[in-house]
Amino acid sequence: MDWLSYFGCDFQRLNGNNLRTKPFKITLGESNNCILNNYNEFILQDEISLIWNRRWRDSNFLDKTEQKVNKNFLYEMKTHLLNEFSRVSQYIYHIFSQKEWVDKPSLIQPNKLIVLEAAKNCGLEIPNTLITNNKEDALCFLSENKRVCTKPIHEVSTFFNYKQQSAYLMDTKEVKEADLLTMESIFFPSLFQKLIEKRFDIRIFYLKETFYAMAIFSQRRRQSALDFRNYNFIDPDRTIPFILPNHIQDNLYKLVTQLGYQHCSIDMIKDVNNDYYFLEINPVGQFGMVSKPCNYHLEMKLALYLKEKHDEK
């Protein structure tokens, strides 16, 4: 926002969270549908040419609801309110559906399995992957790949225990034979991947046909060896700028172009044999974590990109 202001851009900001906490209104049936945002400014269809779609709401934006509803129905009430909010959000997207988006709402939550398949078809290596609901296949997969991990098929989730004031992150975990043997013969469909022995993690931000990569030396401690998101804030892992090989950049460009992204974050790893493996795309990944350690100034470059696209209109 600071860079957009510095470059003299004419813009307005609407946060999804504010539909919960600030006055707003949507008017239907008049010449222009409009939304009153938290800055008391009308956002009119005809005045908008470009939309940057970025993290519409926080995962905890309904937390205050817990204090106001019957605890016996808390889960059902939150589910209902999320569904209600989803329909309002979909209508806001619909109002501006003919505008240019960076990126479109339909691209914000890609299917991880479809993306993995597309990455393989674009020439990128991916870890051997199995989705199954039965113990026998999981044990065979472990035997074939020696070491196996599991991770969410959807997104990483955080479970909050408000009574104990603690949080539990559903991240990447190794699965051992003893774990599988304790499971039922048929369990909930789960994702298993060959556990690649890493040299380091690579986090990449893509913008305007350019890949800004950062190496994360996550292997020096057990805490972050499987998933670099298990941060040690007192003694953080070392991070440095990194240049991807040309053939990896070419294949990544094929992938993001095929999927339709103008900008996104990409997770990869480099293994002990110096091979590169694609893991996933996060369209709204935190680019600040790449920008600041590597002096890429991505906030400025993104603001310039948006300004250039707006000026082309």
Which string of b and e fits 132-154 if b means at least 16 CB within 10 Å? Answer: beebeebeebbeebeebbbbeee
Q: 159 with 219, same domain?
A: no
Residues 205 and 155 in one domain: no
Domain for residue 74, yes or no? yes
- Do 33 and 98 lie in a common domain? yes
Peptide bond into 103 cis (omega under 30): yes
CA 135: distance to chain centroid? Answer: 30
Model confidence pLDDT, tens digit, residues 114-141: 999 999 999 999 999 999 999 999 999 9
Domain final position from 36, 68, 102:
102
Question: According to the per-residue pLDDT averaged within each range, which of 37-46, 146-155, 274-283 is highest?
Answer: 274-283
Write out the two tokens for 153.
């098929």
Phi/psi at 42 (nearest 5 deg)?
-80, 130
Angle value at C-alpha 95, between 92 and 99, nearest 5 degrees: 110
pLDDT digits (tens, 9 = 90+) for 208-262: 899 999 999 877 656 555 565 555 566 677 889 999 999 999 999 999 999 999 9
**215 and 308 fall within a common domain:** yes
Q: Is the pLDDT of residue 12 over 80?
A: yes
If asked whether residues 238 and 291 sit together in one domain, one would say yes
What is the distance between the alpha carbons of residues 165 and 188, in angstroms, rounded to a whole number? 29
> Is residue 108 in a domain?
no
What is residue 293's predicted lDDT score, i.e. its pLDDT?
93
Angle at which helices 246-259 and 112-121 cross, to 10°: 130
Percent share of the chain, pLDDT over 90: 52
Asked if residue 90 and residue 40 are part of one domain, the reply reads: yes
Is 307 a member of any domain?
yes
Q: Does 176 fall in a domain? A: yes
Task: Band the pLDDT of 19: cuts 50, 70, 90.
Answer: confident
Q: Give percent of the chain above pLDDT 70.
A: 86
If asked whether residues 88 and 134 sit together in one domain, one would say no
**268 in the same domain as 282:** yes
Whether 116 maps to a domain, the answer reads: no
Give the structural domain span for 230.
198-312
What are the DSSP E strand ranges found in the chain?
34-36, 42-44, 50-52, 100-102, 129-134, 148-151, 157-161, 166-170, 173-175, 186-194, 198-207, 210-216, 239-242, 263-271, 276-282
Q: Is 36 in contact with 42 (CB distance < 8 Å)? A: yes
Q: 266 and 233 in one domain?
A: yes
CB 32 within 8 A of CB 44: yes
Element at 308 (helix H, strand E): helix 298-312
Place 54 in a pLDDT band, splitting at 50, 70 and 90. confident
Query: 213 in a domain, yes or no?
Result: yes
Same domain, 228 and 284: yes
pLDDT band per the 50, 70, 90 thresholds, residue 168 = confident
Residue 182 in any domain: the answer is yes
Asked if residue 115 belongs to a domain, the reply is: no
Q: What is the pLDDT of residues 193-207, one digit of tens each?
A: 999 999 999 999 999
Strand partners, 277: 269
For the question of whether the overall pTM of this predicted structure is more than 0.75, the answer is yes
Place of tokens 């990869």: 268
174, 194, 214 — which closes off a domain? 194
All residues at 6 or more sequence positions from 296 whose CB lies less than 8 Å from its CB, including other chains: 205, 212, 241, 290
From the CB of residue 233, how many other CB atoms can be counted at a distance below 10 Å? 5
Q: How many domains does the chain have?
A: 3
Is there a single domain that holds both residue 220 and residue 176?
no
CATH number at residue 213: 3.30.470.20
Query: Given 45, 68, 102, which residue is the final one in a domain?
Result: 102
> Are 206 and 257 found together in one domain?
yes
Query: What span, in angstroms and rounded, lies between the C-alpha atoms of 140 and 145?
Result: 9
Distance CA 193, CA 131 (A): 9
